[in-house]
Every structure is written in structure tokens, then in C-alpha cells.
Amino acid sequence: MKISATPRVYHSAKVLFAVLLLILSVQVHAQVPGATNRTIYTPMGQAVDALTNPENADIRDYAHNGNIQQITQHNWQVQLESAPTTTSQCHGWAWSIYAGGPAVEINGDVRKYFTNDAVEEIAPMTEDNWEEGVIIVFGKNMSVPVHSAVTTSEYGFVRSKWWYGAVYKHKLEEHPWASYEQGWYRVAMNGSKKVCGFGSTPTYSTTSSIPGASYAWKLSGTPVGGNSSSVSVQHFFTPNTIKHLSVEIQCPLSGTTIKSFRRICFGENSGYVPGSYYIMGSQDNSTLCPYTSYTMYVSAPCVASGFTYTLPPGFTVNWTSGGSMSFSTGSGGSGTIEVSANVWCSSYPSTCCEPAPGTNVAIAFAYVDTSNPYCGWSMSASPNPAKDYIDIETGSEKSKDASMKEASVSLTSSEDAGEWYQLTVYNSQQIPVFTTKSRDRKVTINTQQIQNGIYIAEIIRGKERISKRFAVNH
């Protein structure tokens, strides 16, 4: 937004020139009465001459009104971030943001922060490699640079304190010192900004030259690695996930903490494009029962065809249809169901790597296990196909013989009699068309109003889920 104010507007070029000269002079000499000298230290231990300023309303308001005049004159679009104060000026504010130091005024000695110290000079950043937390010094080759600013996470925008005035967020080119030569400085952050190999483990590093330093790394707020100048990050993220890596370096010589950032895009050109899956009949997509049929539904993250399924030993495929598969568990066991397909993930502006290769790409891995203590019920559906009605019957199996897996269930057991269960019927799009709770061994469903097609009846009893496919054909 554009800052609004009602200062007295000076139209005289002579007065404006005098104001600019005064602003420049304040960069060189302290102008706040009552300022006291103090010494602070850079991360590498260089002594910096600084000033501790009292609050002075006259100087503060004069500086602030002069800034407002320039903002209004040039129609700069700025955002006010903190109120004006004489306790620091541009260098003291910017380099305290960098180093975590006190709010002070720093003049000529500001050069020590970016000369033989903990930062490195980099080329001016573009939209492709823009990062937050980079210090820009204007007039870097003058004996006393005239302004310092800090980049934000938004491309082309910086934050800076305008003399003894306010702190603004503004465009890089919209401030009174924009025409001066620039120097760009940052705490070193080495490592790729694009990681395309799923499962790969790239390494990132920062400066290791600060005596006695300790390090704390975070990936989008989550701690990673240890107390080291380098860290490894493993790519197990969904394609085109943006993460922000940061490191905080505690510097004992200055008693402050400096930071560095890296924006990382984890891509998809990996031979594995993780999709999602759902195993109907399993409560947690993992726990199954022996001698039971299940249906697995797979959703690829992009266009996919030519699905193939690899099952654990002893499991068999009943049928497949694109991204769905019915399988039987046989006598049981455990292992991984692997799903592959021919995929093509189209590029879009936020994509950081090339689209995924299209041939036989793995899209899902499902670990399953039939050692389920809740197995014991089964169900039948008849007549199948149904015309006007269908009976869903439930019961406890007397044995776990494979010959029973498609047979109707004997209902002579009494150990499960009267136990509540939920019955839901889904259409082929997994949309419920019927649901009820019952304690009866048999539920009759009127199918006259149900369209022809394939349906799945699912029963949930406690932690157990069982399902049965049936057809409706009027």
C-alpha cells in the first residue's frame, strides 16, 4: 500500500537540496545530542565503533517528514513496518537484523561487517535466485556507504530504515539512495536450489570460519541435522514441494546470532512420482485378513495409463481396471504391493524440474500384512447379480480354508450374535448409495432404485473391515 501522511510539502528545490545534504551528512557524523560511544563486534570479532542514541523527537520528526515528502513526490509504493526512531539509522538497523545485535547507529565502521568477515559478496540477485536475508549496501565503495537494506522473501522487495525515520518495506529501486552503487552480501549458503531425484540426499553448507560457532538448521521450521556447518536433507516430498532451509549460527565473539536461508524446490524427475492409494476393506491401508478379497484404488498425481501391479507372494490378482485392482490374500502373509504406470506430469510455472519420465514409473508402494487379530467375520451377497433386492449376510468363519473365500457363510455361530456393525454400499466411484447400522445377520437392500452397475458392500465391526463386490442388473 502507499503510505499516507499530511506533512508540510516543500516545493523549493533549494530546500530539498539542503535536506538531501543533511541526510548524507548524518550518514557520516552523529547528529543526535546526547549520543554515547560504544563498541560492538562483528561475528569474526572485529571491533565496530557505534553510537547509542537517545530518542529525539525533533530530529525524528524532521527525518520522518522529509521521507514522507519524497515518498509523496515520487509516488513510491511503500509499506510502513515500524515507527520512526532516532535510536538507530539505516546501517545500525540493517546489520542488527543480520547479526542480531543492539539497535545502534553505525557509520564508517559498517564496512567491517562486509570486509574480511562472515559474509560473502554475491552478484545482484534475479527473480530466479532471489533469497531473503541478503544485505544490500548502497555506495559500497565510498568511505562511508550511504544506506543498507535487507531483502525480503518477496522478489524485488527489501526492508530498510530511512535515516532516523521509519522502517519501510519497499521496492529495491524506490528509495532516496537507489542510484548509488550496490554491494550484495550474505552468510554463505551452498547447495542446490532444485532437487530432482526422489530419495536423493543433497548436502548444504555454510561458513565454517567463525571461531567457536555453533549451528542450528531447520527445514521449513523443523530441526534437521546437528551442530555442524553442513547438513543433509533427504528428498521424500511430493513433486514440486517448496521448502525453506535456514541456519542460525551463534557467534561467541560478537555474542550474536547470524542467519542464512535457501529456498529449495524438490522436484519430480526421479522415476518415482508418489500418488495416493486406498484399499477398500482395510481400516488403515495395511492390515488385511487371509482368504479375503480387497480392492485397491490408486490416484496418480498426473495423467497416467498402463497400470501394473506387483503383489506379495501368495496374493493373487482378481481383476484390474486402470487405477483399481481387486486382489485376494490367499493363506496370508506380508509384503509390498507396488504400482507402476506410464505417467506424464505437465510442466507449470511452479515446477522446478523437468516433467517425470513417462515409462513404467512407480507411483505407489503399499506394505500389507494379514496377521490381523480381528479377522474372523466374512460376508456374502446374494442373489448376485441382484435385480430387485440383495441380501447381505454376515457371520463368523468356522475355518480359514481357501475354499470358503467365495462361498456363502454358515450362520450357525453364536459368538458374534447381536454385535453391532455398520454396512455401507459404494458405487464404482466410491460414493455411498446405502448405509445402515444393524445387529442382524442378514440385511435386505431394495435395489429397484439403484442403477445397473458394480457395487461394493463394506462392513465395519470394531476395527475390522470386510467387503464384497456385487452387481445390479435390472
Phi and psi at residue 312, in whole multiples of 5°? -65, 160
Do 105 and 88 meet the contact criterion of CB atoms below 8 Å apart?
yes
**Cβ contact 385:472 at 8 Å:** yes
Q: Using an 8 Å Cβ cutoff, are 215 and 248 in contact? A: yes
Q: Which residue has the cell 453364536?
A: 414
Q: Using CA of residue 91, residue 105, residue 133, residue 154, what is the dihedral sign?
A: negative
Average pLDDT, the chain: 83
State what percent of residues in the chain have pLDDT above 90. Answer: 53
* pLDDT of the residue at 267: 79
pTM for this predicted structure: 0.56
Average pLDDT, stretch 144-148? Answer: 94
Q: Kindly report, residue by residue over 415-436, the tens digit of the pLDDT.
A: 344 578 889 999 888 889 999 9
73-95 pLDDT, tens digit per residue, is 999 999 999 999 999 999 999 99
Side by side, which strands form the sheet with 303-310? 303-310, 334-344, 361-369
Q: pLDDT tens for residues 82-134?
A: 999 999 999 999 998 888 888 899 999 999 999 999 999 999 999 988 999 99
Written as nine digits, the cell of 416 is: 458374534
Selection from 397, 384, 404 nearest residue 445 by Cα: 384
- 461 burial (CB, 10 Å; 0-12 / 13-18 / 19+) is middle
* DSSP conformation letters of 352-388: -SPPPP-SSEEEEEEEEE---TT--EEEEEESSSBSS
Q: What are phi and psi of 212, to 5 degrees?
A: 70, 15
Assign 3-state DSSP to the chain and report helix, strand, coil percentages, each to 5: 10, 40, 50
CA-to-CA separations, 474 to 290, 385, 446, in angstroms, rounded: 33, 9, 12
Tell me the pLDDT tens digit for each residue of 446-455: 998 888 888 8
Please check the confidence at residue 212 and state whether its pLDDT lies above 80.
Answer: yes
